[in-house]
């Protein structure tokens, strides 16, 4: 089997509780002994409720945060041993996309300047090819350069801002995208479009994609493998069909139960059923629907 793009071994990240002698016993482990591999062209989803350590893990994989212990390696080479040129290669190859595109774009910078800066910094376009390169990049994310090149982020919708953030990531020909809830800040109607864009770019360029998402419908639709995290630990990992179709852990089952209620179709059917039942018999149970599971029900679920 080929070497993974990125691998993580025994990653721990603790916050707080630091004493003179190192990490004290009361330090909180946001990421607790995580191992994972991301292969070329693969879509790996990371799911789990808020606070389970997904974003911290993403930042560690991106090299933005140093783990307390453990090792991240890029094509087998530990990032701790990186030279400055290694870091430059890595920073191009592994690109982040964050939840809130507005805060990931410079508010004082026009769209074309944002993209031109990236292209120039990485020597990806000469002066006379810069405009053409920007036009092509904008087209690759579904935006017409004539209309968008001189806009500032605040002139753009959330979906358009996220398209610019994706264009900026794609400008450097990455091998891996790490997207932390890239749809969560967007309107429902726009989410599907941005997801489509990510999936198309990914397959046309054979990119690896780490998708952090709480939307299990999305995860089900596009990922090859799923990691389920709870309180910093991986509680389950496997092919998507297996993890979502036949989960091994109680925690994954409870996430799936919560998803069923969160699904708009099921939620609507459930509401309608409740309304009609309430009209006839207010105290009756709701047969035929999954039990209601709220976020708080997920707390303390045994693994």
Ligand X SMILES: Nc1ncnc2c1ncn2[C@@H]1O[C@H](COP(=O)(O)OP(=O)(O)O)[C@@H](O)[C@H]1O
Of 38 and 137, which has the nearer Cβ to Mg ion? 38
Q: What is the closest distance, in whole angstroms, from the C-beta atom of residue 180 to ligand X in the complex?
A: 7
Give the tokens for residue 27.
Answer: 């330090």
Q: Which of residues 281-300 bind ligand X (CB under 6 A)?
A: none
| Site size for ligand X (CB under 6 A) | 11
Q: Which of residues 30-59 bind ligand X (CB under 6 A)?
A: 30, 48, 50-56
Q: Which of residues 34-73 bind Mg ion (CB under 5 A)?
A: 55
Whether 114 contacts 148, CB under 8 Å: no
Query: 149: Cβ–Cβ under 8 A, 6 or more apart, which residues?
Result: 110, 111, 112, 134, 135, 138
Q: Which of residues 55-94 bind ligand X (CB under 6 A)?
A: 55-56
Q: What is the closest distance, in whole angstroms, from the C-beta atom of residue 31 to ligand X in the complex?
A: 7
Question: What gap in Å lies between CA 191 and CA 208, rounded to an integer?
Answer: 20
Question: What gap in Å lies between CA 130 and CA 135, rounded to an integer?
Answer: 9
Q: Edge to edge, what strands does the sheet with 28-38 contain? A: 28-38, 6-15, 69-74, 77-78
Question: Helices marked H in 8-110 — which ranges?
Answer: 54-61, 84-93, 101-104
Residue 15 binding partner per list Mg ion, ligand X, none, with a CB distance cut-off of 5 to 8 Å that depends on partner kind: ligand X
SS3 content of the chain, % helix, strand, coil (to 5): 45, 20, 35
Of 50 and 69, which has the nearer Cβ to Mg ion? 50
Residue 168 binding partner per list ligand X, Mg ion, none, with a CB distance cut-off of 5 to 8 Å that depends on partner kind: none
Q: What is the closest distance, in whole angstroms, from the C-beta atom of residue 65 to Mg ion in the complex?
A: 13
Residue 174 binding partner per list Mg ion, ligand X, none, with a CB distance cut-off of 5 to 8 Å that depends on partner kind: none
Question: What gap in Å lies between CA 139 and CA 150, rounded to an integer?
Answer: 15
Question: What gap in Å lies between CA 97 and CA 100, rounded to an integer?
Answer: 9
Q: What is the closest distance, in whole angstroms, from the C-beta atom of residue 288 to ligand X in the complex?
A: 33
Residue 159 binding partner per list ligand X, Mg ion, none, with a CB distance cut-off of 5 to 8 Å that depends on partner kind: none
Question: What gap in Å lies between CA 73 and CA 81, rounded to an integer?
Answer: 9
Question: What gap in Å lies between CA 67 and CA 14, rounded to an integer?
Answer: 8
Q: What is the closest distance, in whole angstroms, from the C-beta atom of residue 251 to Mg ion in the complex?
A: 17
Of 15 and 87, which has the nearer Cβ to ligand X? 15
Residue 17 binding partner per list Mg ion, ligand X, none, with a CB distance cut-off of 5 to 8 Å that depends on partner kind: none
Q: What is the closest distance, in whole angstroms, from the C-beta atom of residue 248 to ligand X in the complex?
A: 21
- Helix axis angle for 264-280 and 250-262, nearest 10°, is 70
Of 56 and 114, which has the nearer Cβ to ligand X? 56
Of 110 and 233, which has the nearer Cβ to ligand X? 233
Of 50 and 217, which has the nearer Cβ to ligand X? 50
Instruction: Return residues touching ligand X (CB under 6 A).
Output: 15-16, 30, 48, 50-56
């Amino acid at each position: 089997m080929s070497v993974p793009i990125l691998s993580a071994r025994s990653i721990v990240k603790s916050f707080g509780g630091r004493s003179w002698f190192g990490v004290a016993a009361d330090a909180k482990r946001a990421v607790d002994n995580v191992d994972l591999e991301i292969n070329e062209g693969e879509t790996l989803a990371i799911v789990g409720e808020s606070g389970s350590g997904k974003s911290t893990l993403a930042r560690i994989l991106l090299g933005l945060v140093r783990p307390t212990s453990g090792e991240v390696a890029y094509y087998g080479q530990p990032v701790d041993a990186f030279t400055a040129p290694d870091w430059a290669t890595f920073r191009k190859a592994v690109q982040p996309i964050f939840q809130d595109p507005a805060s990931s774009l410079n508010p004082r910078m026009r769209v074309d300047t944002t993209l031109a800066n990236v292209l120039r910094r990485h020597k990806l376009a000469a002066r006379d090819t810069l405009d053409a390169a920007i036009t092509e990049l904008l087209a690759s994310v579904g935006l017409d350069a004539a209309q968008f090149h001189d806009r500032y982020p605040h002139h753009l919708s959330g979906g358009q801002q996220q398209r610019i953030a994706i264009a900026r990531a794609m400008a450097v020909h990455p091998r891996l995208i790490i997207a932390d809830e890239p749809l969560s800040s967007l309107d429902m109607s726009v989410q599907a479009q941005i997801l489509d864009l990510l999936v198309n770019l990914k397959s046309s360029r054979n990119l690896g994609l780490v998708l952090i998402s709480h939307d299990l419908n999305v995860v089900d639709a596009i990922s090859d493998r799923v990691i389920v995290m709870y309180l910093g630990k991986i509680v389950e990992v496997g092919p998507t069909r297996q993890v979502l179709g036949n989960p091994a852990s109680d925690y994954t089952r409870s996430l799936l139960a919560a998803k069923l209620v969160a699904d708009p179709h099921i939620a609507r059917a459930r509401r309608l059923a409740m309304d009609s039942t309430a009209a006839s018999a207010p105290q009756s149970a709701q047969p035929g629907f999954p039990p209601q599971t709220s976020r708080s029900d997920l707390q303390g679920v045994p693994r």
